[in-house]
Amino acid sequence: MQHDRISLDEVDSRLLAALQKNAHLTAQELGEMLNLSASQAGRRRQRLEAEGLITGYSARLDPGRLGLSVQAFVQVQMARHGAETATTFARLVASQPEIVSAWTLTGEADYLLRVYCADLGALNRLIHQVLLAHPSVTRVQSQIVMDQFKPDAPLPV
């Protein structure tokens, strides 16, 4: 996954750090934090969006309050590799709302999936009826999260 690096000055870095903590900041608030006018802060944000550095804005939800009491990381090992296998597996992963993120890996496992399920039964169904049902999946190993002591953090800028 190679991307062209975007050159940032110190003000851009501070703007990005602030937005990662609170994406609701107005141009006026950003300007005050960065010692810029609101219009300068707004233009900087728009430039960083246009350059693809800021890819979107979202709300962080509390999984427990949504009834998603089980978080797990699931490693998937494939029996076969190839473009068609990867495409069908990616389509399967995309169709499962419990799978919130997925990575292709080096090493023994081919994929790592982060999942949120209502309970252990739902995780069991996802593993046995969905993932292991894929014809190319040969092995699935899950690790259930006991506690997340460091929440998902902003990227270092």
Parent domain of 22: 10-50
Please tell me whether residues 78 and 124 are part of one structural domain: yes
Determine, yes or no, domain membership for 157.
Answer: no
Please tell me whether residues 88 and 24 are part of one structural domain: no
Please tell me whether residues 72 and 138 are part of one structural domain: yes
Please tell me whether residues 78 and 138 are part of one structural domain: yes
Q: How far apart are the first and last CA of the chain?
A: 19
Please tell me whether residues 84 and 114 are part of one structural domain: yes
Tell me the pLDDT tens digit for each residue of 115-135: 999 999 999 999 999 999 999
Mean of per-residue pLDDT scores for the chain: 95
| Beta-carbon contacts of residue 91 (< 8 Å; ≥ 6 apart) | none
Name the pLDDT band for 87 (thresholds 50, 70, 90).
very high
We report the CATH number of the domain holding residue 24 as 1.10.10.10
Determine, yes or no, domain membership for 155.
Answer: no
Tell me the pLDDT tens digit for each residue of 14-60: 999 999 999 999 999 999 999 999 999 999 999 999 999 999 999 99
Please tell me whether residues 134 and 90 are part of one structural domain: yes
pTM over 0.75: yes
Name the pLDDT band for 1 (thresholds 50, 70, 90).
low
pLDDT of 7 reads 86
pLDDT (average), residues 4-20: 93
Q: In the chain, how many domains are there?
A: 2
Name the pLDDT band for 109 (thresholds 50, 70, 90).
very high
Determine, yes or no, domain membership for 1.
Answer: no
Q: How many residues does the chain have?
A: 157
Determine, yes or no, domain membership for 86.
Answer: yes
Please tell me whether residues 136 and 68 are part of one structural domain: yes
Please tell me whether residues 27 and 75 are part of one structural domain: no
Q: Is the per-residue pLDDT at 155 higher than 70?
A: yes
| Beta-carbon contacts of residue 30 (< 8 Å; ≥ 6 apart) | 15, 18, 19, 36, 38, 41, 42, 44, 45
Share of the chain above pLDDT 90, in %: 89
We report the CATH number of the domain holding residue 125 as 3.30.70.920
Give the chain as a 3 state SS string. CCCCCCCCCHHHHHHHHHHHHCCCCCHHHHHHHHCCCHHHHHHHHHHHHHCCCCCCCCCCCCCHHHCCCEEEEEEEEECCCCHHHHHHHHHHHHCCCCEEEEEECCCCCCEEEEEEECCHHHHHHHHHHHHCCCCCEEEEEEEECCCCCCCCCCCCC
pLDDT of 101 reads 98
Determine, yes or no, domain membership for 4.
Answer: no
